[in-house]
Structure 1
Amino acid sequence: MANGLFVFVLAAFFIVLLRWSFKTLPGEGWQIVASVPVFKEESGCWRGVNLTYYGLLVASAYDVAGVILFILLGTLKIPLTGIFVMVLTLLLICVPASRFIAKIVEKKLYTFTIGGASFVGILIIPWALWLTNVTLGARSNFHIPLVPFLAAFVISYSFGETIGRLACISFGCCYGKPLSQSHPILRRIFDKYCFTFSGKTKKIAYESSLDGVKVIPIQAITSILYLITGIFSMLLFLQSRYIVAFILTVVVTQAWRAFSEIFRADYRGGRRISVYQIMAIISIVYSLGIGYFSPSASVTQTDVRIGLVSLWNPSVISFFFLLWVAIFLYTGRSTVTGSTLTFHVHRDRV
C-alpha cells in the first residue's frame, strides 16, 4: 500500500510539473533567473554574470535523482555510509565528464551532456561498487548488491533526466527539427503540441535562428517517456524485480537516446551517426551483459517507508543542500550570455 501510494504521489507531482513547464519554459522570460554585477566598466555600467533556469533545473534534477536513489537503496537497508561513498564517487567522475565529453564530441568549451555523464556512470558502477565492497564494505560488514544498485541508479537517472530536459527547454538547447522540414505525419501530430521558442539569447536562436519557429517538442517527448519508464521501473523495483527494472530502464532510455536524434536539429558532432548514439548503444549492450552474467540478487521485502525515513538525517539533508548549490553554481553561471546592468535611485521614494 505504502509503495503504491508513494509512486502515485510522485507521478502526480511530475505530471503537474511537466504540464506547467511545457507551457511556460519556451518563453523568453524563463532563461535567466538573475544577473549578478561583477565588474564596473568605464561607462559606469556593470558587467553581469547571468544565473540561468538551466542551472536551477539541472541542480534540482541532480537532487531529485539523488533523493530517489537514496530512497530505493534505503528500502534494501544499505547503510548510509555505503550509499554516500558510491554517490560521491559517481558525482566526482560523472559531473566533470558531462563537460569533458561534450568538449570532445561537440568541440565546444561551454556546454554539458547528461547523456555522456550517464554513459560514464553505467560503465564505472560495477567497478566502483566492487571496490567499495572489498574495502569499506569488508571493514564495515556490509555488501551492496550490483544489480539492485544498478536498477536504482538508472531509475533515479530516468527521473532526473525528466527534469533535466526541462532545463533544456528553458535554455533552448537539444531542440527538435522545424515542423516545416518534418514528415507530414509529424506535422499533423505536433501542430498543436509543438514548441515555439522566443528570445534571442536562447541556443535555438543564436545557433540555428529557429526562434519563433514551430519545432518538434523533442524535450517534452523525452521527459514524458522517461517519466513513464521511471514509474514502471520503480514499481518493478519495489516488487524486488531488480533485473527487469534495470534492463527495462536502460533499454528504453538509451534506445530513445539513440533514436531521438533523427528528430533533433541541434549540433551533436559532424558524423552521420553521432558519438552520443554510439554511447547509447554501447550502454545497452554493456547492461545486457551485466544482466546476463551477474548472479541473481536475493529477493527482499521492500518498504518505501524505510527509504523515506533514511532521508530524515542531518547529514543527508546537508548533503543534498550542498549538492544543489554546487551543481547550480557549476551549470547555472552562463558563459555564453552576458548582461549590462545600471542602478539608480527612485527619487520620489526617498
Structure 2
Amino acid sequence: MSALAAFSALYLCWGMKTLPKERWQIAAAVPLHKGGDGSWAGINLTWYGILTANAYLVASSLALVLMGAAGIALWAVIAVVVLLLAFCVPASSLVARIVEKKQNTFTVGGAVFVGTLLAPWIIVLVNQIPLGDRGVGVPPLPALAAISIAYAFGEGLGRLACVSFGCCYGKPLSACHPRVARIFAPIALTFTGKTKKIAYASSLDGIKVLPVQGATYLLYCAAGLVSTLLYLRAQYSAAFLLALCVTQGWRVISEFFRDDHRGIGRFSAYQVMGLVSICYGFWVVRHFRGDPSTLPELAQGFASLWSPAPLLLLQLLWVVIFIYTGLSRVTAATMSFHVNAEKV
C-alpha cells in the first residue's frame, strides 16, 4: 500500500510539472505519404496514448490482483476484465459522439457509465460459464469492489494523459471567484503549444487554469487507497460504494469547474450519468447483499498475476489501447529528411 501511494504521488508530481509543456504532446511521428516538394505527411503518436495505456495497464493489473486475492479463479477474472473492456473501450468513443457530437474524441465518463451498468451482469454471465472455478463462481461484491478500486486508480492515473493533450481542462483563474483563484494560483496549470486542445478549442494556452486534472488524480487515487484497505478487511460493499461515490460524485462536482465543451445544458449528460451510477451502485449492493467473510490474501493475488497468460494479455492490452487512443486524429505532421554531410 505504501509503495502504491508513493508511486501515485511521484507520478502526479512529475506529470503536473512536465506534461503541460508543448514538448509532451507528441511522442513520435511516422511518415506515411511523400509530397511533391519532397516532404512527408505523417501521423502523430501521442503521449496521451502512452499514458492512457499505462493507466489501463495499472487498473487491469490491480483488478487481477485484488480478485485473485479474493480467491476468484484466474480465467474467471480474465473473462470478467476482457468482457468489461470489450464494452467500455468502444463506449469511450461512442458516448462522446452521442453527447458531444464529435467523431474524434474519447470520454472516460461515458465508458465508465456503460461499465457500471454492465459489470454486475457480466459477472452473472461469467458465472454461467465453466472456467476452472470448480463451481465456486465469481462472488459479485468482491469482484465489483475490485473493479471500482481499479477504475479509481486507472482514471486517476489517466488524468495525466489529459494534461498531456490539454483536454478536460479547468476554467481560467480570471473567471473564478477571487478566493478560489487565490487558493489555486500556486498550483494552477499553464499549457503551451497550439496543438493542445485547450489552445485550439478555447484559446487558453499560456493562461493559468484550475488544475482539475490534478485534483481528480489526487482524489481518485486517495479513494482507491482507502477502498483497498477496506477490501483487504473483507468490507467489500463499503469498498465498492466508497470508490463509486467518490469518483462519480466528483464527476458531478468537477464539471462545474471545467471549461471544455461537455455537451448542451448547464447540467451535462455526464453529470446525470454520475448521479445515476451512484444510485445504481446502492441498488446493486442491495441486490447482491452479503459480503463473504473470508479475508483476501494478497500473496495469492500476486501469484495469480505472475504467470504467462495474464502477463501476455496485459502486454497485448497496452498495445491495443496505445494504438486506439494514441494515433492522433486531430493533429498531423509534415516531415523532411536530410543527410548530415559533416558526419559522413
What is the TM-score normalised by the length of structure 2?
Answer: 0.98
Instruction: Give deviations 1:236-289, integer Å, cap 9, x for gaps.
Output: 001100000011111111010011111000001012211100000000000011
Contact 2:235 2:291 in 1 (8 A): no
Q: How many residues align?
A: 344
5+ residue gaps, structure 1: 1-6
| 1:31 corresponds to | 25
3-state SS of the aligned residue for 2:276? helix
3-state SS of the aligned residue for 1:271? coil
| 1:185 corresponds to | 179
3-state SS of the aligned residue for 1:47? strand
Whole-Å Cα distance in 2 between the matches of residues 20 and 52 of structure 1?
17
Instruction: Give deviations 1:129-187, integer Å, cap 9, x for gaps.
Output: 11111233598523101111110001000000111100000000000000000011111
Whole-Å Cα distance in 1 between the matches of residues 263 and 102 of structure 2?
10
Task: Within 5 Å, give how 1:299-310 maps onto structure 2.
Answer: 299-310=293-304
Whole-Å Cα distance in 1 between the matches of residues 80 and 337 of structure 2?
47
Task: Within 5 Å, give how 1:277-316 maps onto structure 2.
Answer: 277-316=271-310
Of the three residues 172, 175, 182, the one matched with 2:169 is 175
Of the three residues 2, 6, 20, the one matched with 1:12 is 6
Answer with 98-107 or 305-314: which moved more.
305-314
Instruction: Give deviations 1:192-222, integer Å, cap 9, x for gaps.
Output: 1100000000000000000000100000000
3-state SS of the aligned residue for 2:33? strand
Percent identity of paired positions between Structure 1 and Structure 2: 49
1:52 counterpart = 2:49: no
Of the three residues 261, 276, 291, the one matched with 1:267 is 261
* Shift in Å, 1:295: 2.3
Of the three residues 190, 195, 209, the one matched with 2:189 is 195
Instruction: Give deviations 1:31-89, integer Å, cap 9, x for gaps.
Output: 00000001111111000100000000000110000000001001012111101111110
* Shift in Å, 1:297: 2.2
Task: Within 5 Å, give how 1:1-350 maps onto structure 2.
Answer: 7-136=1-130, 140-350=134-344
Whole-Å Cα distance in 1 between the matches of residues 225 and 295 of structure 2?
19
Whole-Å Cα distance in 1 between the matches of residues 320 and 125 of structure 2?
26
Whole-Å Cα distance in 1 between the matches of residues 3 and 296 of structure 2?
18
3-state SS of the aligned residue for 1:44? coil
3-state SS of the aligned residue for 1:136? coil
3-state SS of the aligned residue for 2:106? coil
| 1:3 corresponds to | none
3-state SS of the aligned residue for 1:38? strand
Whole-Å Cα distance in 1 between the matches of residues 343 and 4 of structure 2?
47
Whole-Å Cα distance in 2 between the matches of residues 137 and 347 of structure 1?
62
Whole-Å Cα distance in 2 between the matches of residues 345 and 145 of structure 1?
62
What is the TM-score normalised by the length of structure 1?
Answer: 0.97
Contact 2:76 2:133 in 1 (8 A): no
5+ residue gaps, structure 2: none
Q: Tell me which amino acid in the other structure corresponds to 2:311.
A: I
Q: Tell me which amino acid in the other structure corresponds to 2:219.
A: L
Whole-Å Cα distance in 1 between the matches of residues 26 and 136 of structure 2?
45
Whole-Å Cα distance in 2 between the matches of residues 116 and 347 of structure 1?
53
